[in-house]
Amino acid sequence: MFSNRTNWQLAQNRLTRALEHARAQKLKLVDLTISNPTRAGLHYDERAILAALADPRSLDYDPQAKGLLAAREAVAGYYRAEHGLELDAENIILTASTSEGYSYVFRLLCNAGDELLVPKPSYPLFEFLADLQDVRLVPYPLIYDHGWQMDFHSLEKAVTARTRGVVVVHPNNPTGSYVSAGEREQLNGFCRERGLAVVVDEVFLDYGLDDEARFPGLAKAARPFDKLRAGSGASHSADTVSFAENGEVLTFTLSGLSKIAALPQMKVAWVVASGPGDEVVAAMARLEVIADTYLSMNAPVQWAVPVLLEQRKNIQRQLMARVRANLAELDLQLAGQTACERLEVQGGWYAVLRVPVTRSDEELAIELVEEKRVLVHPGHFYDFPGDGYLVVSLIGDEGEFREGIERTLTRFLNG
Ligand SMILES: Cc1ncc(COP(=O)(O)O)c(C=O)c1O
């Protein structure tokens, strides 16, 4: 009765079962996987957020496929203020989520069975998004050697006649690695030669650990980058520059309020098209038809976009303070032992721990729930190349984080 594309393995995984069991027994767990910022004890400007949703202009229905111009201009304003870019609002299309943005772009680029190259390890939702659009994902590895790098050799080998584009996550979840300036150049050349599009997920772009200029006074991160860009309040290393103006090849840059302003419940995201002019015009015309078919953006939230985007200033500062404090705490605790280490992180909300391999990551995560009462994500959730990786969120409460890391590390005290 049902389509093959929905033939998912729907049974709960063992970790979820162990977690439910622990919760049913009313055991108090420390959660090191928290990714919902609305439940992370942050201070939102509740009054401003709620007032913005009550704009009387929302009583009018003005169906604009790309989204209301005022909202798209606010998005362009964000890129101007934070990233020093001058974007044309006509090349921005609003979507209800980055996931919806992905599905529009996948629909635009791919016939059923066409392929997209995706990084590995990375964001686990890709598989579902691709299944639903009948797209085949072909992974290309990111390789760790004192920092994560794209493996262009593997990328070359992964291309077939059906490849339509390369997906990058900038910075990647959960490795926290940006596409470096050198990789960007190589990626552009690679895609130009083969007629491929670039799809860039920038939801964590603003959470660069090195962004001292944007978050003055917060403790500095471990690894400084060269500062090459300055002006309009934006100060970024060459590595952390947005792709939203990438001009060499057809590029779709995805982002949204869920991470930028830590407001995932508002369901506002966008796709920016850039690249050779004629290709951008053709892509936008088609994307507009896709968006017009659904018209998924509601009026109140679109009128609120300027105010909601403004919330980033308050919320990013709080989140960066958390991320830096938790990372410093992690490093402090790691310095007291030799079994585990942290991989290099440049930005985002997560850290990756390299731990001794005594069993599968899933079994280890289950053991941590059952015996240490702490929840972490096993690396295999993100397609790490083997066992020995745990992923922890850095946005949680600092006291909880300290306790959770203590509990995790005691597991490895005697091998
Ligand atoms: C890399 C990445 N892209 C996109 C998203 C989701 O964004 P949205 O809520 O806009 O669909 C997430 C959420 O964790 C993410 O990690």
pLDDT tens, position by position, 279-309: 999 999 999 999 999 999 999 999 999 999 9
If you take atom 7 of ligand 1, which residue's CA is the nearest one? 98
The preferred substitution site among 35, 99, 205 for testing ligand 1, maximizing ligand atoms within 8 Å of CB, is 99
The preferred substitution site among 95, 98, 308, 382 for testing ligand 1, maximizing ligand atoms within 8 Å of CB, is 98
How do strand 30-31 and strand 374-375 relate by DSSP bridges? Answer: parallel
Cα separation, 251 vs 165, whole angstroms: 9
If you take atom 4 of ligand 1, which residue's CA is the nearest one? 98
| pLDDT value, residue 221 | 47
| Cis before 63? omega within 30 | no
Enumerate residues 6+ apart whose C-beta is below 8 A from 58.
299, 300, 303
Q: Tell me how far the alpha carbon of residue 207 lies from the centroid of ligand 1, in angstroms.
A: 14
Report which ligand 1 atom has the smallest distance to the Cα of 169.
1
Where does the pLDDT of residue 8 fall: very low under 50, low under 70, confident under 90, or very high at 90 and above? confident
Long-range pairs of 212-216 with CB within 8 A, sequence gap ≥ 24? 214/82, 214/316, 215/316, 215/317, 215/320, 215/321
| Range 385-411 average pLDDT | 97
Where does the pLDDT of residue 125 fall: very low under 50, low under 70, confident under 90, or very high at 90 and above? confident
b/e 132-149 (16+ beta carbons within 10 angstroms → b): bbbbebbebbbebeebbb
Q: 140 - beta bridge partners? A: 119
Report which ligand 1 atom has the smallest distance to the Cα of 204.
1
Contact 175, 142 (CB under 8 A): yes
Where does the pLDDT of residue 234 fall: very low under 50, low under 70, confident under 90, or very high at 90 and above? low
If you take atom 14 of ligand 1, which residue's CA is the nearest one? 35
Cα separation, 199 vs 272, whole angstroms: 10
Q: 150 - beta bridge partners? A: 142
Which comes out higher in pLDDT, residue 126 or 302?
302
Q: Tell me how far the alpha carbon of residue 99 lies from the centroid of ligand 1, in angstroms.
A: 7
pLDDT in tens, 207-217: 999 866 666 66
Report which ligand 1 atom has the smallest distance to the Cα of 255.
10
Q: Tell me how far the alpha carbon of residue 100 lies from the centroid of ligand 1, in angstroms.
A: 10
3-state SS of the chain is: CCCHHHCCCCCCCHHHHHHHHHHHCCCCCEECCCCCHHHCCCCCCHHHHHHHCCCHHHHCCCCCCCCCHHHHHHHHHHHHHHHCCCCCHHHEEEECCHHHHHHHHHHHHCCCCCEEEEEECCCCCHHHHHHHCCCEEEEEEEEECCCEEECHHHHHHHCCCCEEEEEEECCCCCCCCCCCHHHHHHHHHHHHHHCCEEEEECCCCCCECCCCCCCCCCCCCCCCCCEEECCCCCCEEHHHCCCCCCCCCCEEEEEEHHHHCCCHHHCCEEEEEECCHHHHHHHHHHHHHHHHHHCCCCHHHHHHHHHHHHCHHHHHHHHHHHHHHHHHHHHHHHHCCCCCEECCCCECCEEEEECCCCCCHHHHHHHHHHHHCEECEEHHHHCCCCCCEEEEECCCCHHHHHHHHHHHHHCCCCC
The preferred substitution site among 103, 167, 203 for testing ligand 1, maximizing ligand atoms within 8 Å of CB, is 203
Q: Tell me how far the alpha carbon of residue 125 lies from the centroid of ligand 1, in angstroms.
A: 8
| pLDDT value, residue 228 | 35
pLDDT-wise least confident of 224-228, 286-290, 302-306, 325-329: 224-228
- The closest of 263, 309, 255 to 37, measured between CA atoms, is 263
| Range 81-93 average pLDDT | 97
Contact 95, 302 (CB under 8 A): no
- Provide residues with CB under 6 Å of ligand 1: 35, 97-99, 123, 169, 173, 201, 203, 256, 258, 264, 269
The preferred substitution site among 118, 125, 243, 270 for testing ligand 1, maximizing ligand atoms within 8 Å of CB, is 125
